[in-house]
Copies of this chain bind each other. A is one copy, B any other.
Amino acid sequence: MPIVHKGTVVDVKKVGSYFVLTATAADIPKDFKPGNFVAVAIGDERSSLILRRAFSIYQVNDRGVYGGTVDIVVSPHGPGTDYIANLKRNDPINLVGPLGKPFSLPKEPVPCVLVGGGYGAAPLFTLAEALTARGCRVDFILGASTQEKLFGMLEARRISTTLSVTTDDGTSGVMGRVTDVLPDVIKKSGAAVVYACGPMQMLKAVSEVATLHGIVSQTSVEESMACGIGVCMTCVMPIIGEDGVTRMLRSCVDGPAFRGDKVRWDEVGTIPADTWGAPEIGGH
């Protein structure tokens, strides 16, 4: 069950372009499953920013000296993320979590490829551990626009069978996109599932590659969220249900991980005409 944690910042570390923030959050570690996220308040009642910001949970620690803690990876680029990146040890931090549906894990110990774009890698390390624990082979692909924006290379290498790296500018690994190396990794590892987290365009491309190879993809999407807990309906995406019908589903509670082949990628940001409850021409 998600709860409101009035926690404290234990540490903020700069890692490449990112900031890894550790905060106390007593109950998150025991409830946490890979793929969950937390929603962080931006300041107190004096703040003019009233909406929380969503961050994938990168790590949890149940037995530290601070009791339960949670780690997130923050890419500062707007008022809310800047605020969080500038927090200091001992500052108060209010976070709600764990939120969202976790990644679905395969029932069998099948090989899995994990693809992280930029800070999108954050939720994949605990996922890798969970998969490894089930006996799955794990291969990692990390991609970013440039070297500084790659996250977690050392750790990925440690917990995976192979690690492939791509950057748009070639400053690290292969120059190109994650999908340039993905087919090869799928083939070599014999993967049955691809997990991906990163920008929407990347998720779409990964999902297409997976489908092409006849394997399943789980994509963790990032839609703009006002509440993060399922009550406001801002974060919807057109998702094809088991009955074949497309519905506008909330990515905060029905996701953020969706099966890649069920997301209507090209129509994100629209209401596809055959969506359940779609407006008639000229309607809402």
Nearest Cβ on chain B to A45's Cβ, whole angstroms: 8
Judged by a CB distance under 8 angstroms, whether A43 is at the interface is: yes
- Bound state CA distance, A45 and B46, in angstroms? 11
Which residues does A use to contact B, with CB under 8 Å?
42-43, 45-49, 79, 83
For A79, give its contact among B42, B46, B48, B83 (CB under 8 Å). Answer: B46
A-B contact pairs, 12 of them (CB 8 A): A42-B46, A43-B46, A45-B48, A45-B79, A46-B47, A46-B48, A46-B49, A46-B79, A46-B83, A47-B47, A47-B48, A48-B48
Q: Is the interface of A mostly helix, strand, loop or mixed?
A: loop
**A46 to chain B: which residues have CB within 8 Å?**
42-43, 47-49, 79, 83
Nearest Cβ on chain B to A83's Cβ, whole angstroms: 7
A79 and chain B: residue at smallest CB distance: B46
**A83 to chain B: which residues have CB within 8 Å?**
46
- Bound state CA distance, A48 and B46, in angstroms? 6
- Bound state CA distance, A93 and B2, in angstroms? 37
